[in-house]
């Protein structure tokens, strides 16, 4: 009887301890959100969340470039804001070939699990808006393996490496965060290698 | 082992567990946070006026309702200079870590896509020496006070969340207060 009582007491004590642990951690989170503004602080990391890392290969399928030269010209003519304080790029509408601020690039890619590009596992789309110095901000959606990974960030789209931040996802990637790095490979540099690191 | 000794050992175990468990972190708790300020000086801007696209959109569109009911202005004539829905503005900033602009800290780019009543959804990235911080949110045209949500980051800001507060600073600069959480995952 005494042993049973002690076992029951132990169970209650563990349950109480767990509740206290969770409550104290929630309190920490609230303090961090509300109390750190205006200070230069770097809190020490505690437990690390396991990372998931994988590689997929891709080949471009379709591409559309949208040239907004007319919208740029109208935008330069109609001074909607204090243009004197903010200069437009000097070669915004030079007529030369190349990307200009405001142009769009839309791309779709087929994703593969192997570098030989034999086993298709999904698709990816890039919607990019160019800003300055031939750089674009790209919104990438990767439909792969029962979910979508959403990534965002700057890209040159000239074959150089791209690192986008993973901002979320759906399905098995719901709540995903991390980054994806894209490099080119193959003889003609047409194969894209996407290296995902997610938490 | 006697019953009394067993009881003492069990009570000691309970005491140890009760002391240790409250300091264990809960799953999903942000691991580290960082708060810092950068001062942004506008470097370049491009305004994109999509008046022709809006006009085409009046005659050809996927909506069921009458175009006149949903288009701003009659017959495609737009009053004022906008920005109107569909216009976008691209801003480039040079960043400094001090208000005197003596310590360069990187660059920032805002891509703002206008919706109605001169409000835009802006995607921004802060290209800092230790990595990228991405942020998104609503900004009113001409507004200097706004807050964006941090949606992610790369390298040192891997997995970043948090927010960016914006306020005007001296000499046509903009002050950005970045509160970045979820670091060190």
Encoded tokens for A71:
């919208």
pTM of the model: 0.73
The answer to whether B161 contacts chain A (CB < 8 Å) is yes
**Residues 6 or more apart whose Cβ sits within 8 Å of residue B34:** A41, A42, A43, B178, B179, B180, B183
Residue A21 lies in a domain: no
Mark B11-40 as b/e (b = at least 16 C-beta within 10 Å). Answer: eeebeeebeebbeeeeeebbbbbbbbbbbb
**In chain B, what residues touch A26 (CB-CB under 8 Å)?**
26
Residue A25 lies in a domain: no
Range of the domain at A131: 52-76+97-198
B112-151 per-position pLDDT tens digit:
999 888 899 999 999 999 999 999 999 998 888 999 999 9
- Report residue B71 CA to chain centroid gap: 29
Average pLDDT over residues B153-163: 95
Residue A24 lies in a domain: no
Residue A118 lies in a domain: yes
B36-90 per-position pLDDT tens digit:
999 999 999 999 999 898 888 877 777 765 555 555 554 555 677 788 889 999 9
* Residue B56 confidence (pLDDT): 83
The CATH number of the domain where A175 resides is what? 2.40.480.10
Q: What is the pLDDT along chain A (199 residues), one digit of tens a residue?
A: 455 655 555 554 454 444 334 333 333 333 333 333 333 444 434 455 688 999 999 999 999 999 999 998 888 775 555 544 566 666 555 556 678 899 999 999 999 999 999 999 999 999 999 998 889 999 999 999 889 999 999 998 888 899 999 999 999 999 999 999 999 987 777 899 999 999 9
Tally of residues, chain B: 185
* Residue B71 confidence (pLDDT): 54
Residue B13 has pLDDT above 80, yes or no: no
Q: How far is A164 from chain B (nearest CA, A)?
A: 7
* Residue A11 confidence (pLDDT): 53
The answer to whether B16 contacts chain A (CB < 8 Å) is no
* Residue B117 confidence (pLDDT): 84
* Residue A150 confidence (pLDDT): 95
Residue B11 has pLDDT above 70, yes or no: no
Mark A158-187 as b/e (b = at least 16 C-beta within 10 Å). Answer: eeeebbbbbbbbeeebeebbbbbebeeeee
Confidence of residue B6 (pLDDT cuts 50, 70, 90): low
* Residue A51 confidence (pLDDT): 87
The values of phi and psi at residue A26, to 5°, are -65, -40
* Residue A187 confidence (pLDDT): 73
**Distance between CA atoms of B42 and A109, rounded to whole angstroms?**
35
**Distance between CA atoms of A76 and A80, rounded to whole angstroms?**
9
Cross-chain Cβ contact B14/A18 below 8 Å = no
Cross-chain Cβ contact A129/B88 below 8 Å = yes
Residue A43 lies in a domain: no
Probe site for chain B from A165, A166, A180 (most B CB atoms < 10 A): A165
Average pLDDT over residues B5-17: 58
* Residue B24 confidence (pLDDT): 36
B142: closest chain A residue by CA: A81
* Residue B9 confidence (pLDDT): 66
Cross-chain Cβ contact B3/A88 below 8 Å = no
A128: closest chain B residue by CA: B111
Residue A38 lies in a domain: no
B60-70 per-position pLDDT tens digit:
777 765 555 55
* Residue A180 confidence (pLDDT): 97
* Residue A100 confidence (pLDDT): 87
Cross-chain Cβ contact B90/A131 below 8 Å = yes
Residue B155 has pLDDT above 60, yes or no: yes
Residue A84 lies in a domain: no
* More confident position, B182 or A13: B182
CA dist A140 → A102, A108, B24, B115, B164 (Å):
18, 10, 37, 22, 23
The full DSSP string for A47-67 is SPPPPEEEEEEEEEEEEEEE-
In chain A, the number of structural domains is 1
**Distance between CA atoms of B83 and B122, rounded to whole angstroms?**
14
Residue A193 lies in a domain: yes
């Amino acid at each position: 009887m005494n042993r049973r009582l002690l076992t029951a007491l132990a169970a209650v004590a563990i349950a109480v301890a767990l509740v206290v642990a969770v409550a104290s951690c929630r309190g920490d989170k609230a303090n961090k959100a509300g109390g750190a503004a205006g200070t230069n602080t770097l809190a020490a990391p505690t437990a690390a969340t396991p990372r998931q890392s994988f590689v997929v290969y891709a080949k471009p399928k379709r591409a559309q470039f949208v040239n907004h030269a007319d919208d740029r010209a109208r935008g330069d003519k109609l001074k909607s804001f204090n243009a004197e304080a903010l200069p437009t790029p000097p070669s915004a509408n030079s007529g030369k070939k190349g990307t200009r601020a405001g142009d769009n690039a839309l791309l779709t890619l087929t994703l593969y699990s192997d570098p030989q590009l034999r086993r298709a596992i999904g698709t990816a789309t890039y919607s990019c808006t160019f800003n300055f110095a031939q750089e674009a901000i790209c919104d990438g959606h990767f439909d792969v393996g029962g979910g979508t990974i959403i990534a965002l960030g700057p890209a040159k789209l000239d074959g150089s490496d791209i690192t986008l931040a993973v901002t979320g996802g759906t399905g098995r990637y719901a709540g995903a965060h991390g980054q994806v790095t894209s490099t080119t490979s193959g003889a003609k540099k047409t194969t894209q290698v996407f290296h995902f690191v997610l938490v | 082992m006697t019953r009394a000794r067993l009881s003492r050992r069990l009570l000691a175990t309970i005491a140890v567990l009760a002391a240790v468990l409250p300091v264990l972190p809960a799953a999903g708790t942000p691991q580290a946070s960082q708060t810092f300020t950068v001062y942004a000086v506008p470097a370049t801007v491009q305004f994109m006026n999509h008046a022709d696209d809006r006009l085409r959109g009046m005659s050809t569109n996927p909506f069921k309702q009458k175009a006149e009911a949903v288009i701003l202005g009659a017959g495609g004539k737009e009053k004022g200079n906008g920005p109107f829905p569909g216009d976008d503005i691209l801003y480039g900033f040079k960043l400094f870590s001090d208000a005197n602009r003596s310590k360069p800290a990187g660059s920032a780019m805002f891509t703002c896509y206008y919706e109605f009543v001169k409000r835009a959804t802006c995607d921004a990235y802060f290209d800092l020496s230790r990595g990228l911080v991405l942020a998104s949110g609503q900004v009113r045209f001409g507004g200097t006070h706004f807050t964006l949500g941090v949606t992610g980051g790369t390298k040192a800001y891997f997995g970043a969340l948090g927010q960016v507060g914006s306020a005007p600073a001296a000499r046509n600069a903009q002050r950005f207060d970045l509160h970045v959480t979820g670091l060190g995952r």
